[in-house]
A and B are shown apart, each in its own frame.
Chain A
Amino acid sequence: MTTLRNQAVIAGVAESEIGKVPGMTGLALNAQAARRALDDAGLAPADIDGLVTAYSVAEPYFMYGTVLCEYLGLTPGFCASMTMGGATGAILLEHAAMAIATGRATTVLVSVGENRATGLSRDQAVAALAAVGHPAFEAPYGPLIPGFYAMIARRHMHEYGTTREQLAAVAVQARRHASLHPNSHMKHLITVADVLGSKPIADPLRLLDCCLISDAAGALIVTTPDRARDLQRPPVWLLGAGEHHTHEHLIAAPSLTRFGARESSEAAYRMAGLGPSDVDFAELYDCFTITPILEAEECGFAKPGEGGALFADGATTLEGRLPVNTHGGMLSHAHAGAAGGLLGIVEAVRQLRGTEGARQVKRHDVALVHNEGGIMSSHGTVILGRDRR
């Protein structure tokens, strides 16, 4: 049986301009991130023979992958556009690696981004996101995306005693980490009191428990270990990848406290031959403050019910035993559709290289990135390493 372990490396990463970037379309943001990622790798557009991307709510083209190829003048032999919500980034990396491992492509551009902040009005954005609810059995009740996660948060609080303060700690840490990132959307520091006093959105979640809406794109250059050998950056190795899908709509979720992040991360650990204690730092999808708490439990960094304490005790800060969301995550660095998850992979690669200055974590041999889409519906986990294993 073949495995993806050690079969593909990330040779280049980049972000577009991030925040409110009114002069750029989503395609332009993708192109900027792609150009920068190629520069980071020391490669040229002609080296790309595969492209995978996501979708765009702000620019809803029918076939986003081929539209992006057309925009960039690429005519690859491998192309796909995937719609797995926030899980798309990690799953795209897995699919790029599968194409490389099977010889279908040698150098794949993974590019994801949208102009969500300026390409949609606030009401259009909310209306577009309302489509996440089931059109007959959820949407008529006015649930709002934060409301879905609020119901999960309340159940976690009910079963385990997770507190509002613990949720707030996630947002406070994310903001501090983002304040040390040169390209993050939100940099001013916040306190637990700020989070608890922010505008109520969907109780128990408040405004600062919710991720941003940004214009942003991220890109990866994924290639073969052989191709990467003489490139300018040390390669970052894909050691493990997993995905798992349990439902789309919250009414069909098998549980409100136990999610497919467990199977997804277990598959990635199995492939990598590693376990949670081998992970030096993690980038965990944080659409809301409850989300990384759940994922920390499901990925084996805390026992069920102890994810809130993991964050509140400071274990997940840059100085802690398991730094989480070292760039500030989607709560503070950037959130633009599927790009939010992919930017966690960009950050993990940079941290593994050891180039991040004030934000650099001390131990940086192995990173786990978990992406999640829908309402804890689709999960993708990748484990990345500085060395082949």
Chain B
Amino acid sequence: MNLPLPVVTPETAQYWDGARDGKLLLQRCGGCRVVRFYPRRTCPVCWSEDAEWIEASGRGRVASFTIIHRPPAPAFAERVPYVVALVDLEEGPRMMANIVGDRPLDVAIDEAVDVTFEARGAIALPQFRRSAP
């Protein structure tokens, strides 16, 4: 059984295209300049439809995390235990990702993490690894 793929919409296609190129893309509102996540046509702050895509630095900090022991679907069974984290990006928005790479289970709140990309089907899924000290 395959791991779930994200549902891609016309509003988010550019985000996933960017991920395939190894870039974490975010939208910045042309009206109020707020950087938002997740991508969407309408700014949730000022409702402007004017937005530009910017490349995020890829650096963030862990706001919180959990270690999943019971897989939510059979496809995740071989991954347990794995970390699901909320990552606060340098640019402001918060996103979810797995912590992957070296000793992910030792991650801590407020720890610095860097984006990386996991190939999954035809998609590249943004993930984070613990920053080198």
Query: Which residues of B (45-84) have their CB < 8 Å from a CB of A?
Result: 63-74, 76, 79, 81-82, 84
**A138 near B71: Cβ-Cβ < 8 Å:** no
Closest chain A CB from B41 CB (angstroms): 14
A300 contacts partner chain B, Cβ-Cβ < 8 Å = no
Is B32 part of the binding interface, using a Cβ–Cβ cutoff of 8 Å?
no
> A130-B72, A139-B4 known; A251 and B84 CB under 8 Å?
no
> If the complex has contacts A140-B6, A142-B84, are A251 and B96 also in contact, measured as CB distance less than 8 A?
yes
Does any Cβ of B come within 8 Å of A127's Cβ? yes
Q: Report yes or no: A256 in contact with B37, Cβ–Cβ below 8 A.
A: no
Give a binary string over A118-146; 1 marks a CB under 8 Å from any B CB, 0 the rest.
Answer: 00000100110010001111111111101
Number of interface residues of B (CB under 8 A): 37
Contact between A141 and B94 (Cβ–Cβ < 8 Å)?
Answer: no
The reply on B33 being an interface residue by CB < 8 A is no
B37 touches A251 (CB 8 A): yes
Q: How far is the CA of A126 from the CA of B64 in the complex (A)?
A: 23
Taking a contact as CB atoms under 8 Å apart, the answer to whether A144 and B79 are in contact is: no
Contact of A151 among B64, B73, B74, B82 (CB under 8 A): B64
Q: Is B97's beta carbon under 8 Å from chain A?
A: yes
A135: B residues at CB distance < 8 A: 6-7
Say yes or no for A158: interface residue by CB 8 A criterion: yes
CB of A154 within 8 A of CB of B64, answer yes
Report the bound CA distance from A204 to B119 in whole Å.
29
Q: Mark B95-118, 1 if CB is under 8 A from A, else 0.
A: 111100000000001000000000
Chain A residues with CB under 8 A of B66: 143, 146-147, 150-151, 154, 202-205
> Which of the residues B73, B81, B94, B120 comes within 8 Å of A251, measured between beta carbons?
B94
A151-B84, A200-B69 known; A141 and B63 CB under 8 Å?
Answer: no
Known: A137-B6, A151-B65, A154-B64. A256 touches B38 (CB 8 A): no
In angstroms, Cα B83 to Cα A154, docked, is: 13
The chain B residue with its CB closest to the CB of A149 is: B66
Which residues of A237-286 have CB atoms within 8 Å of chain B's CB atoms?
250-252, 256
Q: A143-B68, A151-B64 are in contact. Are A137 and B125 (CB under 8 A)?
A: no
**B36: nearest residue on chain A (CB-CB)?**
A252
Q: Are the C-beta atoms of B64 and A202 separated by less than 8 Å?
A: no
Q: Is A201 an interface residue (CB 8 A)?
A: yes
**How many Å from the CB of A43 to the closest CB on chain B?**
44
Nearest CB of chain A from residue B118's CB, rounded to whole Å: 9
A84 to B92, CA, bound (A): 29
Q: Does A155 contact B (CB under 8 A)?
A: yes
Q: Nearest chain-B residue to A155 (Cβ)?
A: B64
User: How does the 8 Å CB contact mask read for A138-176 relative to B, with 1 for contact and 0 for none?
Assistant: 111111101100111011001000000000000000000
B68:A154 contact, CB within 8 angstroms:
no
Chain A residues with CB under 8 Å of B8's CB are 136
| Shortest distance from the beta carbon of A287 to any chain B beta carbon, whole Å | 15
Q: List 19 A-B contacts (CB under 8 A).
A: A139-B4, A139-B6, A140-B4, A141-B96, A141-B98, A143-B84, A146-B70, A152-B64, A154-B109, A155-B109, A158-B64, A199-B70, A200-B67, A200-B81, A202-B66, A202-B68, A203-B66, A203-B69, A205-B66
9 tightest CB-CB pairs across the interface, nearest first? Answer: A150-B66, A136-B6, A203-B67, A155-B64, A135-B7, A151-B64, A200-B69, A144-B72, A142-B76
Given A141-B125, A251-B86: 5 more A-B contacts, CB < 8 Å: A140-B4, A151-B84, A200-B81, A251-B38, A256-B64
